[in-house]
Amino acid sequence: MPRGSKDKYTEAQKRKAAAIESSYEERGIPEDEARARAWATVNKQSGGGERAGGSGRQTSAGQKASARQDSARQAAASRRGEVHPNRPLDEQSKQELLHLARARQISGRSTMRKAELLSALKKAS
């Protein structure tokens, strides 16, 4: 089976990937990247193709459920505008930095640029 073949995926997995891909494309993400993200999501949630004759490795039902819950929690948090706790400050957007500055009650944050927010948050830590 050639690399990138989707023969070992069930119809349900293919439908899920197509729905995710179209959702990304509606948000303006390029088609190739949308397809890659969609299949990565399907693989994370289900552990890859589920038809017989695959690699012999299977993802347990518990791991699949955990991955689905993880994905849903992360999506809900980003919809609420929450920051990613494990990302370094300099990789976060200005909005995320403003959110952190508000939580730490840093005064003058509304007039600060991103670099100023970074230094203020580092001092407050």
Q: Where are the domains of the chain?
A: 8-49+63-82, 84-125
Give the per-residue pLDDT at 119. 94
Give the per-residue pLDDT at 66. 85
Give the per-residue pLDDT at 54. 57
In 3D, which of 61, 66, 48 has the Cα closest to residue 9? 48
Give the per-residue pLDDT at 1. 47
Both tokens of 74, joined, read 């992360």
Measured between its terminal Cα atoms, the distance across the chain in Å is: 53
Please report where in the chains the tokens 């693989």 appear, as a residue. Answer: 43
**Helix H or strand E encompassing 13:** helix 11-26
Give the per-residue pLDDT at 20. 92
In 3D, which of 77, 82, 80 has the Cα closest to residue 100? 82
Low-confidence ranges of the chain (pLDDT < 50): 1
